[in-house]
Amino acid sequence: MPHVLGVIGGDGIGPEVVAEGLKVLAAAGVQFDSVPYDLGGARYLQDGTVLTDEILDEWRGLDALFVGAVGTPDVPPGVIERGLLLRMRFELDLYVNRRPFRDPDGSFEFEVIRENTEGAYAGEGGFLRRHTPAEVATQGSVNTRFGVERCVRYAFELARGRPGRHLTLVHKTNVLTFAGDLWERTFNEVAEEYPDVATAYNHVDAACIYLVEDPKRYDVIVTDNLFGDILTDLGGAVSGGIGLAASANLNPDRTGPSMFEPVHGSAPDIVGTGRANPTAAILSAAMMVDFLGETDAASRIRAACADPTTQVGTTAQIGDAISERV
């Protein structure tokens, strides 16, 4: 049976890179039916739609979601991010954000597992005396044992299956003494069940330095939502650029579809120029079909993307070159 994929091209270069991702999947022999959804900043400006309950219900019956990029400068910050992307994560329980990073010359390879539904992005907080000189804004970080533990367990399972068998917890326990304590205690307790996985702890500021100076020290990193958001952008920068950075928003329990998207934004300044590198979207598509059981196709796509000869040309030319090699 073909996989049924919800496809959200979104804004800017999103439709361009998604088209190349679907092209490569077809070239790799993956059987799929795509269901397009017109969502993103442009749709919001058109009629105010961000994400309806009806669309969410449709998504629950799909195998996966493939997203290009969403957001336009004309939409106020937070409308699309919270109303579409974060709502997808919360409603579909996409509690693991998984992002792999590999240096183009092969000198290092690591993955970051970011808790995806709690922390500072949970939406706790508010205003007091807004729009006055005495205004107060609070923004809390919500961390539950349940949420932390299931993310940590996923990271240990991933680390156990990798050659390095090493997992690093990244947090800020010396300052965030409540959330950090919960994360560290949970990490240490779960670690007792994985004696074959070596562990370490880094403060997040130290981890930023190490990612720049010595990324080879990392195998798998597990961290909270906010720190993971920052570290993964830095990970993209040190591994060839954010145009190569793929991501998976996973529901490991498979109670609903998982979502796959490149890390980069919609880049409205280069729309239609052919300058957008589709590799991150193509690698995200590889993660998607790998999660759906198409491991051979995913491996061939990753190998083709790693070939430096495929990384030359326009958006469509790069997609064509990768398609030829799968």
Does the active-site annotation cover 121? yes
- Residue that has been written with the tokens 């304590």 in this structure: 181
State which H helix or E strand residue 168 sits in: strand 166-171
Q: Measured between alpha carbons, how far is 76 from 177 in angstroms, rounded to an integer?
A: 34
Does the active-site annotation cover 224? no
- Residue that has been written with the tokens 């939406």 in this structure: 123
DSSP codes joined into one string, 110-134: EEEEEE-SSBTTS--EEEESTTSTT
Q: Measured between alpha carbons, how far is 322 from 326 in angstroms, rounded to an integer?
A: 6
Of 23, 37, 154, 172, the catalytic one is 172
Of 33, 181, 205, 214, the catalytic one is 205
Does the active-site annotation cover 233? yes
Does the active-site annotation cover 229? yes
Of 103, 194, 210, 233, the catalytic one is 233
Q: Measured between alpha carbons, how far is 180 from 119 in angstroms, rounded to an integer?
A: 11
Q: Distances from the Cα of 36 to the Cαs of 39, 58, 72, 103, 126, in angstroms?
A: 9, 12, 19, 33, 36
Say which DSSP state 81 is in: I
What letter represents residue 249's amino acid?
A: N
Of 11, 63, 229, 290, the catalytic one is 229
List the alpha helices (DSSP H) in 34-166: 41-47, 53-59, 79-80, 87-91, 145-160
CA nearest neighbour of 287 among 101, 149, 118, 108: 101
Sign, CA torsion 17/22/25/26: negative
Does the active-site annotation cover 205? yes
Annotated catalytic residues are 121, 172, 205, 229, 233
